[in-house]
Amino acid sequence: MALEWCYAGNVVGSNPTVPIMKIKKVAIITGASKGIGKCLSDIFLKSEYTVINASRNRPSEKTNAIFIKTDVSEKESCRKLIQKVTRKFGRIDVLVNNAGVLHPDTIENLSDKTLKSNFQTNVFGAFFCSYFAAKQMIKQKSGQIINISSSAGVSFREGILSYAASKWSVVGFSGALRLELQKHGVDVICFCPGGTKTQLFRHYKEDVSKDFMDPSELAGKISEAMNRSEKEKWLFVYSRKDRVLKKFGFEDYPVQQ
């Protein structure tokens, strides 16, 4: 498959004799139609990335991101997403596994439906997108995968039993994936944000997000984590209480390598 060449940032075909001024980097962000994903998409677009918004629904606001309808809870949908991007652009520089759901529950009212929904999107979505994207990144010998977990993935909370379990899984998956891919030149990080004003909490009967953070603040911190100088750091926690970006590597994270 021939790579598509870009002239001044626009695809013009696959003829390598065409003058090349610039080949844009390609970033895929799941769930980029709103919230943190949308704000992160705006940052990438300003940095002259070609941004793919992989979401179930089209964004309500106008954006220069390319929309590809995707349901990350379905493996085949993730496969088609990565296939479409690699066929069109010949590369994937960044994958942000941002899509997520939160269905609150306790051990007393836990249902199969809630458990499956939290895990299929939060865990399997990140796993399948990373699985297919990693194949391309290994070929390139470069790339970056950012998995968005939650502060509930590094702490213990009541009332969100299966959600917390899913986000702890994302942290574990990210660390293991980092160990596997770093020898191929692929960087993997995990970002754990605190409460943020998004539709993630729409299933609560009352507004619990009054003192939560703005998604643009979180997007800025995620970008900071991605562009860190301390490359050995891979786990980042940003709480609404202290607003300090905490960074961990394998040597200082409580769980042993």
Q: What angle do CA 169, 119, 126 make, to 5 degrees?
A: 65
- Predicted confidence at residue 212, as pLDDT, reads 81
Under a CB-based contact definition with an 8 Å cutoff, are residues 53 and 59 in contact? Answer: yes
- pLDDT of 256 > 90? The answer is no
Average pLDDT over residues 215-226: 95
Confidence of residue 200 (pLDDT cuts 50, 70, 90): low
* Amino acid 20: pLDDT: 40
Model confidence band, residue 7 (pLDDT cutoffs 50, 70, 90):
very low
* Active-site residue, 167 included: yes
45-55 burial, b at 16+ Cβ within 10 Å, e below that, comes to: eeeebbbbbbb
- Grade residue 206 by pLDDT with cuts at 50, 70 and 90: low
Give the model's pLDDT for residue 22. Answer: 60
**SS3 state at 100:** coil
Of the listed 38, 49, 163, 197, which one is catalytic? 163
Contact 219, 36 (CB under 8 A): yes
The per-residue pLDDT for 196 is 64
Q: Which of 24, 25, 38, 167 is catalytic?
A: 167
Non-local CB neighbours of 245 within 8 Å, separated by 6+ positions: 221, 224, 225, 236, 237, 238
> For 28-87, what is each residue's pLDDT tens digit?
999 999 899 999 999 999 998 999 999 999 987 888 999 999 999 999 999 999 999 999
Distances (CA, A) of 28 to 65, 86, 229: 10, 11, 23
- Distance, in Å, from the CA atom of 86 to the CA atom of 109, rounded to the nearest integer, reads 43
Q: Do 215 and 35 meet the contact criterion of CB atoms below 8 Å apart?
A: yes
Give the pLDDT of residue 78: 98
What pLDDT, on the 0 to 100 scale, is given for residue 253?
79
Q: Tell me the per-residue pLDDT of 163-193, one tens digit each, with 9 for 90 and over.
A: 999 999 999 999 999 999 999 999 999 999 9
- How far lies 184's CA from each of 54, 187, 193, 249, in Å? 25, 9, 28, 19
117-166 pLDDT tens trace: 999 999 999 999 999 999 999 999 999 999 999 988 998 988 899 999 99
Answer yes or no: is pLDDT of 215 > 80: yes
Q: Tell me: pLDDT of 236 over 50.
A: yes
The domains found in the chain, sorted by start residue, are 24-248 (3.40.50.720)
Residue 85 neighbours by CB under 8 Å, 6+ apart: 26, 28, 52, 68, 92
pLDDT tier for residue 15 given thresholds of 50, 70 and 90 = very low
